[in-house]
Amino acid sequence: MDTPPTSATAVTRKKGLTKKLVISMLLVGALPLLIGLFLAFYQGTQKIQEVNGTSFKALASETARKLDLVVADEVSHTSLLTTDVNLIRFLEDQRDGLSTLTSANLSEVLAQEQTAWEAGDLDSTKRITQGPIAENLRKHIEGTYIDPGHPIPIITRSTTRALYITDIAGRIVASVDTNPSYLHAEELWWQSAFHKGVGQPFLGPIAFDPQLQTYTFTLALPIMDSLRYEAIGVLRRVYDTKEFFAPSIDTIRFGETGHVMLIDSRGVVLSCPILPTGTSLSDNQLIPLVTPMQAGWTPAPSDGHGGQDTSIIGFAPLTNTNRITEASNGLGWHMFVWQSSEELFAPIQQFFRWTAGFGLLGVGLLVTLGYLAAHRITSPIRQLQEAARRIGRGEFQEPLTISTGDEIEELAEEINRMNKQLASQFAGLESQVQLKTEEVKYLQESTSQILDSVPDPVFMITKNNTIEYLNQASKEILELSGNGSIIGSPLFQILKVDPKTQNKLEGEIHTIQTTSLQLDVPPLSTPAISELRDPLAQSGWDQSVGTRPELRMRHRTYRYRWFTVEAGPGKEAFVGLVLRDTTEESALQDRLIQGEKLASLGVLSSGIGHELNNPLVGVIGLGEAIQDEEDISNMKGYAKDIVQHGKRMASIIRDFTGQMTSQSSEKVPIDIHAPLTRAMNVVQAQFPNSAITMHKEFGSVPLVRANPYEIEQAFTNILTNAFQAIQGTGTIDITTALNEGHIDIRIADSGSGIAPTHLPKVFDPFFTTKSQGEGSGLGLTVAYRIVKKLRGHIRLEDNARQGTVCHITIPIPGEVSIPRKEDE
Amino acid sequence: MNRRGSNRYMLTTIFMFGLMTGINSGLQASDNQLLPDLSPEKVADYMHSIIEADRNIYTTYVVKRMQEQGIVLAREDWETKNAIPLPAQFLHLSSKLVAESGVGIRFRLISLWPIHRRNGPATEFERKGLESLQHSPESPQRGIVTSGKKKFFQAIYADTAINTACASCHNAHPLSPKRDFQVGDLMGGVVITIPLEQ
């Protein structure tokens, strides 16, 4: 049925349409779905970031404010200790006492006291840890201290790890325990709080205290003199960092991982429910992000807790506290709010998973439904396609039944209609084709039969000189049987001729093939008898045997002729060759010519004999008379007669041989009317008593090159012949006319006419119907020769009404261009 | 030095330039034996006139114009809010710088109704001085005070609300103990402390 490529193409195309439809549906349905999904996810993520970031920022700010208050409260409570009047007076005394010492003495005293303190000297220990000031400090820590301005006891935290006071020299003057060293003037916190006597609060950085085995920070406050003119001492309080901040920070938890932490601007953790105090944030790049001077939130590349997920981090500086810490050591404290992104984005991821699941389901549904829909659309199209293909192959089929109710159904109806029309048209065509085929076959057969019935051999050859066809006659002369081996074989392998003839034939074939023209070959007929009848005519024998369309083969002579046969469209024309066996004809012709020659010779010899005999008899008789005659005058008379007879014989011989005696044979341009008129006059004069009238009707003719005497002789002979043919009265009509390069001269007489049996012989020498002595029978022969010398033609016809018509045609030579003379 | 510190430093430079010139000229005069000693009263008067002039210039030609042209505001939390200090803070900052310079002469802005307790009167002399100034703002209170064995000359000059901004801010501040200041009212005083050599 199907050829494989067609079927494959069809299948590909079918798939293509379904695929396109499904893809279109996917694009229409699934693309917006996916875009919407992505946008929802993106928007959701952004929104969650924003909402959480803002919340984190708020939480960080709130916690920072709270810590600010806690720190401010702590500073404020602690500063109550520094305004104690007794303490100030004590320190003023210390200052005044020290001011009396020289610097060398001072160093010595300080060194001694330090040694005593470090050795645990009871006096100094007691003085410092048991004195009224130390007692105050202890009360403060224990929560029983009552400030004069604040009647309510201060509730302090149990986070204090050290609390002591130094004087203006930095030596310790009061402490709750003996742990601190004695001199502090070289320490950072002391110098910063004392600040060259100006005094400013110090809130120290977090550092590991090896003695306490914990991370601590310092609050140091200057103690001003009673005038608040200058600092006279410094109070130092050391806190356990974790314990100080944990109650405010570690309790703030949200979700599973959400929490708040306090870091300093180096990224060191002060307090965090997850990370231990004193550790640094895991990601250094995070630190500048979360420690600006304003509160805010940021999406960070890591969480600072060792995780590398994108995180949302809220942050806020401890504004008031940082004023102190940054003045103290350049470090600020910052709140840091964080929740693991896994937990943070869990809802949106859950949403995304669900939506993606539904989206996939939707896409699957789309593909299935799309495929079904596409199938519904393509299956009738496939039916149509199949139908169209079968119609195209000519396999007419049942009408299509598609009832989709749309354009496809209309198309199917159109195809059915087209199918019906095609079927009817094809049916008519088929019968016509059959008819034509039979006709062609009949034509071929009949042509073949005609050609076979032709007795002449006919060949058709291709351009390669091989035989395409040959008829029965050809086979017979070549003694061949069957067609198989002959068709396609070279012509000259079959047609065995001598090499010279073969060359000539090949040349002719080539000429025909290259020029595609019919060769101008003589008609395939025997040469005109009339031409052969004149044994003296030269032209008929000019052709040599080699140039004549003849060939000899198997001892037989054939005349041949070429012709071309048009082949079908796009094919090379054939060259045809027809042969005619002229062997017998040639023999007959030769015999005929021989007979004619002999007959003519008989007439000629009898004519010559007859014409010459009479004067000769006269000459003999006169000769004998002279022999017997004595009288000289008679003898002279006889001799004169003999001369006359001789002249007559000479004249006869001259006429016979056709030679003009005296007249010049020179050819000059002449108007033929002149010799014609002279000839008419001469003839008129010869027959003075005749009752014949001549009508001349001369047309306008050009000059011809001819001998005027000869042509006058020819006209004279013809006119004489016409006069002699008329018995009694009659007319002679002479007309001249120019006709297609010839001058036509017509001389019609109303005479007795010529018997049809005599017509072919009228130009033969010595042929005459007249009685002896009336004519020599050479007049028309002479006229014939003269006209032939001008390459003209002359013929006699029996006039339809009466008499004879002589037609003379003289060609006008092209090279002669002499102005025509008007001569009437 | 961080940003906040440099900001503060820049803002008080104007004041310091004028102030130091005055102090230096006074000290040179006392060092030179050919010239008569300059009394502490005179020194305090010179200082006060410079302090007052600087603060008034800052208030009128810096803060007011900046605010009018919408360039920057003066507010209490100027350190974190991209603002400039209030005129009172200007005085506190310059007071601190002067103290840190170690020349010995110091001054403070104090009030009977301070927003921060540390700016209240430190001694009975200061309290009394402020109370006296309420009745006679034109006459500064002067006296010798002691801290232990150290003696100081102190003079207290009246500090009044020179424009509505001073009064309205103090009236609105949540920590302010007094909320009925008018323009021209005494709001506090400038205490100038000069140590007396022994």
- Which of chain B's residues have a Cβ under 8 Å away from the Cβ of A99? 149
Residues A197, B148: C-beta atoms closer than 8 Å: no
CA-based nearest residue in chain B for residue A295 = B80
Of A783 and A59, the one with more pLDDT: A59
pLDDT per residue over A452-510, tens digit each? 888 888 888 887 788 888 888 888 887 777 666 778 788 887 777 888 888 888 888 88
CA-based nearest residue in chain A for residue B81 = A294
pLDDT values of chain B reduced to their tens digit, one per residue, 198 residues:
344 444 455 545 555 554 544 444 444 444 445 567 789 999 999 999 999 999 999 998 999 899 899 889 888 888 878 899 999 999 999 999 999 998 889 999 999 999 988 899 999 999 999 999 999 999 999 999 999 889 999 999 999 988 888 888 899 999 899 999 999 899 999 999 999 976
What is the predicted pLDDT for the residue at A458? 87
Q: Give the model's confidence band at A769: pLDDT under 50 very low, under 70 low, under 90 confident, else very high.
A: confident
User: Which of B147, B149, B154 to substitute to test the interface with A, most A CBs within 10 Å?
Assistant: B147
CA distances for A677 relative to A671, A708, A709, angstroms: 11, 12, 12
Residues A323, B79: C-beta atoms closer than 8 Å: yes
A288, burial (CB in 10 Å: exposed 0-12, middle 13-18, buried 19+)? exposed
Please provide the DSSP assignment of A148-185 as one string: TTB-SPP---TTEEEEEEEETTSBEEEESSS-S-SB-T
Residues A93, B100: C-beta atoms closer than 8 Å: no
What is the predicted pLDDT for the residue at A777? 74
What is the predicted pLDDT for the residue at A32? 85
Angstroms from A121 CA to nearest CA on chain B: 29
What is the predicted pLDDT for the residue at A659? 52
CA-based nearest residue in chain A for residue B151 = A227
Q: Give the model's confidence band at A649: pLDDT under 50 very low, under 70 low, under 90 confident, else very high.
A: confident
- Nearest-by-Cβ selection for B149 from A96, A293, A294: A96
Report how far Cα A211 is from the mean position of its chain's Cα atoms.
94
CA-based nearest residue in chain A for residue B76 = A320
Q: In a 3-state reduction of DSSP, which class is residue B103?
A: coil
- Residue A190 pLDDT greater than 60, yes or no: yes
Of A606 and A256, the one with more pLDDT: A256
- Nearest-by-Cβ selection for B2 from A89, A225, A330: A330
- Nearest-by-Cβ selection for A227 from B2, B118, B152: B152
Residues B96, A198: C-beta atoms closer than 8 Å: yes
What is the predicted pLDDT for the residue at A525? 45
- Which of chain B's residues have a Cβ under 8 Å away from the Cβ of A228? 108, 118, 122
Strand pairing report for A730-739 and B150-160: unpaired
Going by C-beta distance under 8 Å and a sequence separation of 6 or more, which residues neighbour residue B83? B72, B73, B74, B75, B77
In chain A, the percentage of residues whose pLDDT exceeds 70 is 88
Angstroms from B10 CA to nearest CA on chain A: 16
A250, burial (CB in 10 Å: exposed 0-12, middle 13-18, buried 19+)? middle
Angstroms from B156 CA to nearest CA on chain A: 13
Q: Give the model's confidence band at A241: pLDDT under 50 very low, under 70 low, under 90 confident, else very high.
A: very high
- Which of chain A's residues have a Cβ under 8 Å away from the Cβ of B143? none
- Residue A414 pLDDT greater than 70, yes or no: yes
Q: Does B4 touch chain A (CB under 8 A)?
A: yes
d(CA B185, CA B196): 33
- Residue A44 pLDDT greater than 80, yes or no: yes
Other Cβ atoms closer than 10 A to A143: 12
- What does the angle CA A68 – CA A134 – CA A98 come to, to the nearest 5 degrees? 100
User: Among A148-152, A506-510, A693-697, B22-26, which stretch is predicted with the lowest mean pLDDT?
Assistant: B22-26
Q: Do A732 and A719 meet the contact criterion of CB atoms below 8 Å apart? A: yes
Question: ipTM exceeding 0.90?
Answer: no
Q: Does B128 touch chain A (CB under 8 A)?
A: no
Q: Do A190 and A201 meet the contact criterion of CB atoms below 8 Å apart? A: no
Q: Do A735 and A746 meet the contact criterion of CB atoms below 8 Å apart? A: yes
Residues A228, B102: C-beta atoms closer than 8 Å: no
Angstroms from A49 CA to nearest CA on chain B: 26
CA-based nearest residue in chain A for residue B6 = A327
User: Which of B2, B76, B151 to substitute to test the interface with A, most A CBs within 10 Å?
Assistant: B2
- Which of chain A's residues have a Cβ under 8 Å away from the Cβ of B108? 228
CA-based nearest residue in chain B for residue A92 = B148
Residues A225, B148: C-beta atoms closer than 8 Å: yes
CA-based nearest residue in chain A for residue B127 = A227
Residues B147, A197: C-beta atoms closer than 8 Å: no
Helix (H) or strand (E) holding B55: helix B40-57
- Residue A540 pLDDT greater than 50, yes or no: no
Q: Does B52 touch chain A (CB under 8 A)?
A: no
Q: Does B99 touch chain A (CB under 8 A)?
A: yes
Residues from A in contact with B at Cβ < 8 Å: 89, 92-93, 95-96, 99, 195-198, 200, 224-229, 293-294, 317, 319, 323, 326-327, 330
- Which of chain B's residues have a Cβ under 8 Å away from the Cβ of A317? 80
How much is the average pLDDT of A567-588? 80
Q: Give the model's confidence band at A773: pLDDT under 50 very low, under 70 low, under 90 confident, else very high.
A: low
> What value does the mean pLDDT of chain A take?
82
pTM beyond 0.95, yes or no: no
Q: Does B124 touch chain A (CB under 8 A)?
A: no
In chain A, the percentage of residues whose pLDDT exceeds 90 is 17
d(CA A153, CA A84): 16
Angstroms from B94 CA to nearest CA on chain A: 13
What is the predicted pLDDT for the residue at A428? 83
Of A142 and A3, the one with more pLDDT: A142
User: Among A452-461, A547-556, A813-822, which stretch is predicted with the lowest mean pLDDT?
Assistant: A813-822
Residues A92, B122: C-beta atoms closer than 8 Å: no
Of A65 and A556, the one with more pLDDT: A65
Q: Give the model's confidence band at A704: pLDDT under 50 very low, under 70 low, under 90 confident, else very high.
A: confident
Residues B108, A323: C-beta atoms closer than 8 Å: no
What is the predicted pLDDT for the residue at A544? 39
User: Which of A167, A192, A228, A230 to substitute to test the interface with B, most B CBs within 10 Å?
Assistant: A228
What is the predicted pLDDT for the residue at B35? 66
Going by C-beta distance under 8 Å and a sequence separation of 6 or more, which residues neighbour residue A81? A87, A136, A137, A140, A145, A165, A221, A235
- Which of chain A's residues have a Cβ under 8 Å away from the Cβ of B153? none
pLDDT per residue over A192-207, tens digit each? 999 989 999 999 889 9
Residues B99, A227: C-beta atoms closer than 8 Å: no
Q: Do A154 and A75 meet the contact criterion of CB atoms below 8 Å apart? A: no
How much is the average pLDDT of A641-656? 78
d(CA A702, CA A506): 44
What is the predicted pLDDT for the residue at A2? 41
CA-based nearest residue in chain B for residue A231 = B99
Q: Which of A225, A221, A231 is nearest to A89 (CA)?
A: A225
Strand pairing report for A258-264 and A333-339: antiparallel
Q: Which of B49, B44, B179, B28 is nearest to B115 (CA)?
A: B179
- Residue A6 pLDDT greater than 60, yes or no: no
pLDDT per residue over A296-346, tens digit each? 998 888 877 877 777 889 999 998 899 899 888 888 999 989 888 788 888
Angstroms from B196 CA to nearest CA on chain A: 13
The token duo for A650 is 């000479």
Size of interface A-B (CB pairs under 8 A): 53
d(CA A263, CA A337): 11
Of A55 and A308, the one with more pLDDT: A55
What is the predicted pLDDT for the residue at A532? 41
pLDDT per residue over A705-743, tens digit each? 888 888 888 888 888 888 888 877 888 889 999 888 889
CA-based nearest residue in chain A for residue B100 = A198
Q: What are the phi and psi torsion angles at A731 (to 5°)?
A: -130, 150
pLDDT per residue over A98-139, tens digit each? 988 888 999 999 999 999 999 988 888 999 999 899 988 888
pLDDT per residue over A512-537, tens digit each? 877 754 444 444 444 444 444 444 44
Strand pairing report for A692-698 and A730-739: parallel
User: Which of B110, B119, B150, B151 to substitute to test the interface with A, most A CBs within 10 Å?
Assistant: B150
- Which of chain B's residues have a Cβ under 8 Å away from the Cβ of A319? 77, 80
pLDDT per residue over A77-100, tens digit each? 888 889 888 999 999 999 999 988
- Residue A662 pLDDT greater than 50, yes or no: no
Q: Does B193 touch chain A (CB under 8 A)?
A: yes
Residues B147, A92: C-beta atoms closer than 8 Å: yes
Residues A196, B150: C-beta atoms closer than 8 Å: no
